[in-house]
Amino acid sequence: MTRILGIDPGSRVTGFGIIDTEGRHTHYVACGCIRTGDGDFPSRIRAIADGVSELLMQYSPEQMAIERVFMNRNADSALKLGQARGAAIAAVVIRDIPVFEYAATQIKQATVGRGHADKSQVQHMVKALLNLPESPQADAADALACALCHNHHQQSQAHLKPHLLGANTMLTRRRR
């Protein structure tokens, strides 16, 4: 069994979602938001790092998946988002937990089937895929979607690896 922590970074609200995976089975563990309040920016960054550290102590994930920063029209917002990501990543890597990064379009594609799905579609699919009684809050749903995307990516790699190794062996035999 593998426990995955998904993070949807934000300088004011950072979503988190935790799932357990075993083979093709995925189980919901927890989700929620780290709310940083209206303090100065360094205090908000510390709140993210502290919040992620608490999650690590409470749930002991083995891997983390996080959304990559994309550059929109506002460079200042992208920089703040990058710093929020950095706080979450730092809290994880100091504990030697591997971090995997995915673009928002990859996450939506893996979860909804469309790379440009809106938040309500992500929430609906996360609810359905994890068999939840109600839709999670939007940031928490995005974090769960990130964890689900990582699980899907890991399963695809595990499925393809033996086939790729077999193809390489066939190529080696033909060369001789």
pLDDT at 124: 95
Active-site residue 67, yes or no? Answer: yes
pLDDT at 19: 98
155 by Cβ neighbours in 10 Å (0-12 / 13-18 / 19+) ranks as: middle
Annotated catalytic residue: which of 67, 118, 134, 142? 67
- Using alpha carbons, select from 63, 139, 140, 65 the residue that is nearest to residue 107: 65
Identify the DSSP state of 96.
T
134 Cβ contact list (under 8 Å, min separation 6): 127
Backbone region of residue 37 per phi and psi (left: phi > 0; alpha: psi in -120 to 50; beta: other values):
left
79 Cβ contact list (under 8 Å, min separation 6): none
**With the C-alpha atoms ordered 91, 92, 95, 101, is the resulting torsion angle positive or negative?**
negative
Active-site residue 118, yes or no? Answer: no
pLDDT at 62: 98
Convert the pLDDT of each residue in 31-75 to its tens digit. 999 999 888 999 999 999 999 999 999 999 999 999 987 766 778
Q: What is the DSSP string of 21-65?
A: EETTEEEEEEEEEEE-TTS-HHHHHHHHHHHHHHHHHHH--SEEE
Mean pLDDT of 11-35: 95
Active-site residue 76, yes or no? Answer: no
Measured distance CA(26)–CA(33) in Å, rounded: 21
- Using alpha carbons, select from 141, 109, 111, 160 the residue that is nearest to residue 32: 141
pLDDT at 171: 45
Measured distance CA(34)–CA(94) in Å, rounded: 20
Convert the pLDDT of each residue in 102-161 to its tens digit. 999 999 999 998 888 989 999 999 999 999 999 999 999 999 999 999 999 888 776 666
pTM to 2 decimal places: 0.88
Cα angle value 94/30/55 (rounded, 5°): 25
